């Protein structure tokens, strides 16, 4: 049992506990209250009860619920929603929602994709140390591949490095491509300090890298197009920046897109989804079972909206 002595007035029992102990979410508190595990001054009271200086809260729950977030336990404070597309003893493929970062190098945001994965395995008592095989922009949704052991992680890093994985995206843009299918080439220059890239026809020096983006039109109407994108190279922000350079900005993209249009359409994140990943050639005998295997996530919400002509 843990007893908490209130030092000053608080708006409510629920607000005090959730603010003091991040693991105690409202749903968890309701469950504990129903099971008579929360008392105020020895009585079971509603979570909306205002607290006054001198009140004593008694919590008949395990001490682990009182943990505070730090680097080693950050995953416990993440959300738990996780859409698993595929899993075997080596590989986990999940469908990341838009708005969730894959990770946070500064440990300020605990609700990241990798933390949700760690939370999933921890909650199910599965001894796995998951690691990201690649990254996806926070505002982009879709497939992310996660290694479940170190040997497979190294294999996957080599697969990405040697371009033995085919990645296919779908997106909605403002504009109509001149060709139904085309391969576009350019140069991308990254400004790491500003977290921004620029695309140009010619190289701007040693920081410029060649890019190739394959664009196929699925359908168009009005000023909008639903596109399938194939990445030949995979540079930072390549799809969003390259399409904007071509005069076809991705809807919802606040960095390279048209913000006035995004506000008009009430779009919070870019309409871009990592829709399909395919293993091409697998040289490793150990992981040859993945050769030619494809993973596809369900169509994102914006495909239906596009088909209904809602943009």
pLDDT in tens, 191-238: 988 889 999 999 999 999 999 999 999 999 999 999 999 999 989 999
List phi, psi (to 5°) of 211.
-130, 150
Q: Which contacts of 217-224 are long-range, i.e. CB under 8 A and separated by 24 or more positions?
A: 217/176, 217/177, 217/180, 217/181, 218/170, 219/306, 219/307, 220/176, 221/309, 222/309, 222/311, 223/174, 223/175, 223/176, 224/172, 224/173, 224/174, 224/175, 224/251, 224/306, 224/311
Q: Which CATH number does 2-66 carry?
A: 3.10.290
- Collect the ranges in the chain with pLDDT lower than 70: 106-108
From-to residues of CATH 3.30.2350.10 in the chain:
71-161, 165-307
Contacts of 270 (CB under 8 A, 6+ apart): 98, 137, 139, 140, 171, 240, 250, 251, 252, 253, 254, 257
* Range(s) of the chain covered by CATH 3.10.290: 2-66
Contact 79, 116 (CB under 8 A): yes
Predicted local confidence at residue 70, as pLDDT: 78
Place of tokens 């359908």: 219
What is the dihedral angle through the alpha carbons of 130, 133, 137, 142, rounded to the nearest 10 degrees?
-80
Rounded Cα gap, residues 31 and 24, in angstroms: 10
Please give the structure tokens belonging to residue 205: 């020096």
DSSP code of residue 63: G
For residues 260 and 230, what is the distance between their CA atoms, to the nearest angstrom?
28
Count of other CB atoms within 10 angstroms of residue 207 = 14
* Alpha helices by DSSP H, the chain: 13-20, 26-34, 113-123, 150-161, 238-245, 259-264, 301-307
What is the DSSP-derived secondary structure letter of residue 250? B
Give the pLDDT confidence score for residue 220 in this predicted structure: 97
Question: Which parts of 114-269 are beta strand (E)?
Answer: 131-132, 141-147, 165-174, 181-191, 196-200, 208-221, 224-231
Q: Check: CATH 3.30.2350.10 for 165-307? A: yes
Separation of CA 36 from chain center: 37
Summarised one tens digit per residue, pLDDT across range 275-299 is: 999 999 898 999 999 999 999 999 9
DSSP-derived 3-state class of residue 152 = helix
User: Domain 71-161's class?
Assistant: alpha beta
* Per-residue model confidence (pLDDT) at position 77: 85
Burial class for 133, CB neighbours closer than 10 Å (0-12, 13-18, 19+)? buried
Q: What confidence score (pLDDT) does residue 60 get?
A: 95
Alpha carbon of residue 135 to chain centroid:
9
Q: What is the DSSP letter of 77?
A: G
């Amino acid at each position: 049992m843990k007893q908490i002595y209130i030092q000053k007035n608080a708006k409510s029992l629920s607000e005090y506990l959730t603010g003091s102990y991040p693991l105690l979410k409202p749903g968890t508190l309701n469950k504990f209250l129903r099971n008579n595990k929360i008392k105020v001054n020895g009585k079971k009271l509603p979570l909306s009860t205002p607290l006054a200086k001198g009140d004593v809260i008694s919590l008949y729950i395990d001490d682990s619920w009182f943990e505070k977030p730090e680097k080693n336990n950050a995953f416990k404070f993440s959300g738990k929603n996780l859409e698993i597309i595929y899993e075997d003893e080596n590989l986990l493929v999940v469908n990341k929602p838009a708005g969730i970062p894959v990770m946070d190098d500064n440990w300020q945001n605990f609700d990241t994709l990798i933390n949700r994965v760690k939370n999933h395995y921890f909650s199910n008592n599965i001894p796995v140390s998951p690691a990201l095989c690649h990254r996806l922009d926070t505002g982009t949704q879709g497939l992310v591949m996660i290694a479940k052991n170190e040997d497979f992680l190294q294999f996957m890093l080599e697969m990405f490095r040697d371009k033995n994985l085919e990645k296919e995206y779908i997106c909605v843009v403002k504009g109509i491509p001149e060709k139904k299918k085309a391969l576009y080439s350019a140069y991308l220059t990254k400004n790491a300090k500003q977290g921004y890239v620029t695309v140009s026809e010619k190289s701007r020096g040693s920081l410029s890298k060649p890019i190739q983006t394959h664009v196929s039109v699925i359908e168009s109407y009005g000023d909008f197009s639903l596109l399938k994108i194939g990445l030949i190279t995979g540079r930072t922000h390549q799809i969003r920046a390259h399409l904007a350079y071509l005069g076809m900005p991705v809807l919802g993209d606040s960095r390279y897109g048209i913000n006035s249009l995004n506000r008009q359409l009430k779009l919070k994140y870019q309409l871009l989804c990592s829709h399909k990943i395919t293993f091409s050639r697998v040289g490793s005998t150990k992981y040859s079972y993945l050769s030619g295997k494809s993973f596809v996530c369900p169509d994102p919400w914006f495909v239906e909206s596009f088909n209904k002509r809602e943009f």
